[in-house]
Chain A
Amino acid sequence: MISLDGVTVTAGSSTLLRDVSLAIDAGTWCTVVGPNGAGKTTLVAAVAGLRRPAHGQVRIDGQDLHELHERDRARLVAFVPQHPEVPAGMSVGEYVALGRVAFHGVLRAPSRRDRDVVDGVLERLELEGFRGRDCASLSGGERQRMVLARALAQATKVVVLDEPTTGLDVRHQMDILEMLTKEVLECGLTVLATLHDLTLAGLFTDRLVLLHRGEVRLDGAAHEVIRSRELAECYGTTLRVVNVDGSDVVVPVRGDTGR
């Protein structure tokens, strides 16, 4: 499980995250929502071990992430950035195999087991047909699946994703989130993600954390947070929640600033 204890992250004189405490149970999916600049990416980077807090600790399975060596940390938590760098000329198979570097190290070739894990992930995410393709030649949806595959190849209990649906069409957004759900339900994966789309966040997630100006404003079950007054307040606009076939749909309303 993931626990953040009084985490404050600063950059120069500005505070990006202020005293954030969260505990996320193993095998659950928690989504962080909030307006641009709320600190979502910083929070995710801190949990991925890439951003050192000025105060407080981030722990996964009781281990302080920022005390660990990179290689040990990469076996605890995998990270999918919002804009992954896709190195042209590298094959999809090689790219996904990067997820095994923490296991075989940079001086040795992947072991039998490493190759088996990569094969398994490629199969689960329906990427076998792309194995030999240049990873820069994939479409947006295929590319995002490939990046997720690299993260899953790390075989960590925790995966952290920053806006995994950015730039995808509706079907590919659903596909990626369905695949993640499957990993949570079938493999007991713990997911911390940020999402801009509030409807999708509510549709796929057990729990929502609303972040505003670097602080946690609300933390609760998805349907409660979506229907809260704070949500519209933080975004500074009027939002309506409509129930369609049992799911909450968040609709922006024009003409009123909502204040």
Chain B
Amino acid sequence: MAWTSPPSARRVAVVTAATVVAVALAVACGLVVGPTSIPASRILGDALSHLGVGHSSLTSLQSLIVWQVRAPRMVLGLLAGAMLAVAGGTYQGVFRNPLADPYLLGVAAGAGLGATVAIVDMSNAFATPAWTPLLAFAGAMVAVTLTWLVGGRNLRSTPATLVLAGVAVSALFTSAQTFLQQQSSTQSIARVYIWLLGSLANASWHSVLIVVPYVVACTGVCVAAGRALDVMSVGDDEARSLGLSVRSVRLVVVVASSLGTAAIVSVVGLIGFVGIIVPHIVRLLVGTSYRRILPISVVFGAAFLVLADTVARTVMAPSELPLGVVTAVIGAPVFVLILSLRRTGSS
């Protein structure tokens, strides 16, 4: 039988340090890499000058590109990556299902329908672009609430009932979304597709400010739930016998993950794969305890998404690759590589 031995403290320390380095690298890439070449040393000098050390040598246009275009995009990427990764890891723990991702309970389908309504918008009631995130967020919350009412409210319901309800609700919302899309103009279809594939291209400090409170609060709740999720790994009945209020934990954790994911999705669209691949990579590296997986996933997810976005906006510059495509193209081979290394390492 193949098993993974619990990780040594040294291994956990090394992985933690590596993820912190990765996040620093991601921040640097996010600020420095782009179609306009601006040397890193000058960006650093400008950053220090804002803190009152030395003086800046950036032109005002360069400064604008770095601090109003690249920086908010990088910060939004950090927030989105952190939230999606930790939400995915949390769902995998709370449903004890390795295939669970943050979109499991209908967030994606609901947000997709909301965004499509705003984009297609036959009556022009939602003509301003600001409606898209609002309706996406509303759609996501309606879908998750519906899933909960159908599958989670009953005392008898099990995690499987909730997941199945999520599948049903997602199917319903997706079919409504597809219908709307099919009724609309070619131009709208293209915009809906771009939204569905996810992108950080529209990031601004305003969008960062909107999602920050959700991401901080929801990530905090998920990370704090690590110990409870470890207890739940022995199953609902045994966890109850050990003194855990399984139903309350599940409710709090599902609300936090869904709310945070909905906030992120409403601003950046549906970026797939981060929520499933990041926690799994972290699990392969530091073992199965959610006390380690969740906090490291926050940091690693943030780094992963910003690095993926750097690739998305450079390989075909000046046009951009869809971020979701890049996360999958980078994530899948990395995942397979670590999986095979781990196998040979433990046998």
Given A79-B241, A81-B238, A99-B242, is A89 in contact with B3 using a C-beta cutoff of 8 Å? yes
Total chain B interface residues with beta-carbon distance under 8 A: 27
B57 within 8 A of A: no
The answer to whether A154 touches B242 (Cβ under 8 A) is: yes
B2 to chain A, nearest CB (A): 9
B237: chain A residues at CB < 8 Å are 45, 50, 81
The answer to whether A48 touches B234 (Cβ under 8 A) is: no
CA distance A84 to B241 in the complex (A): 12
- Grouping DSSP codes into helix (H, G, I), strand (E, B) and loop, the B interface class, with mixed when no group exceeds half, is loop
Given A50-B237, A81-B238, is A98 in contact with B231 using a C-beta cutoff of 8 Å? yes
The answer to whether A84 touches B234 (Cβ under 8 A) is: yes
Residue in A74, A77, A81, A94 whose beta carbon sits within 8 Å of that of B6 in the complex: A94
B216-238 CB mask vs A (1 if < 8 Å, else 0) is: 00000000110110110111011
B240: chain A residues at CB < 8 Å are 49-50, 70
The answer to whether B241 touches A50 (Cβ under 8 A) is: yes
A73 within 8 A of B: yes
The answer to whether B244 touches A101 (Cβ under 8 A) is: yes
A91 within 8 A of B: yes
Residue in A69, A84, A94 whose beta carbon sits within 8 Å of that of B238 in the complex: A84
Given A98-B231, A107-B227, is A88 in contact with B241 using a C-beta cutoff of 8 Å? no
The answer to whether B228 touches A106 (Cβ under 8 A) is: yes
A87 within 8 A of B: yes
A101 to chain B, nearest CB (A): 5
The answer to whether A101 touches B241 (Cβ under 8 A) is: no
A87: chain B residues at CB < 8 Å are 233-234, 288
CA distance A71 to B244 in the complex (A): 6
B219 to chain A, nearest CB (A): 16
The answer to whether A71 touches B230 (Cβ under 8 A) is: no
A94: chain B residues at CB < 8 Å are 6, 230, 289
B346 to chain A, nearest CB (A): 10
A78 within 8 A of B: yes
In the complex formed, the residue of B with least CB distance to A109 is B227
A134 within 8 A of B: yes
The answer to whether A132 touches B6 (Cβ under 8 A) is: yes
Residue in A50, A75, A88, A133 whose beta carbon sits within 8 Å of that of B288 in the complex: A88
The answer to whether B6 touches A101 (Cβ under 8 A) is: no
Given A70-B240, A70-B243, is A136 in contact with B235 using a C-beta cutoff of 8 Å? no
B36 to chain A, nearest CB (A): 47
A111 to chain B, nearest CB (A): 14
B241-281 CB mask vs A (1 if < 8 Å, else 0) is: 11111100100000000000000000000000000000000
B4 within 8 A of A: yes
B244 to chain A, nearest CB (A): 6
CA distance A241 to B202 in the complex (A): 82
The answer to whether B243 touches A101 (Cβ under 8 A) is: yes
B228: chain A residues at CB < 8 Å are 106
CA distance A128 to B94 in the complex (A): 30
Residue in B3, B231, B245 whose beta carbon sits within 8 Å of that of A88 in the complex: B3
The answer to whether A90 touches B242 (Cβ under 8 A) is: no
The answer to whether B245 touches A89 (Cβ under 8 A) is: no
B316 within 8 A of A: no
A102 within 8 A of B: yes
B45 within 8 A of A: no
The answer to whether B230 touches A90 (Cβ under 8 A) is: yes
- Where the two chains meet, the residues of B that have a C-beta atom closer than 8 Å to any C-beta of A are 1, 3-6, 224-225, 227-228, 230-231, 233-235, 237-238, 240-246, 249, 287-289
- Where the two chains meet, the residues of A that have a C-beta atom closer than 8 Å to any C-beta of B are 45, 48-50, 69-75, 77-79, 81, 84-91, 94, 98-99, 101-102, 106-107, 132-134, 136-137, 150, 154
Q: List 28 A-B contacts (CB under 8 A).
A: A70-B240, A71-B243, A74-B241, A74-B242, A74-B243, A79-B238, A79-B241, A81-B237, A81-B238, A81-B241, A85-B233, A85-B235, A86-B234, A87-B233, A87-B234, A88-B4, A89-B288, A94-B230, A98-B242, A101-B231, A101-B242, A106-B225, A106-B231, A106-B244, A107-B224, A132-B5, A136-B1, A150-B242
Given contacts A90-B230, A94-B6, A134-B4, 5 further A-B contacts (CB under 8 A): A71-B245, A73-B243, A85-B234, A94-B289, A137-B3
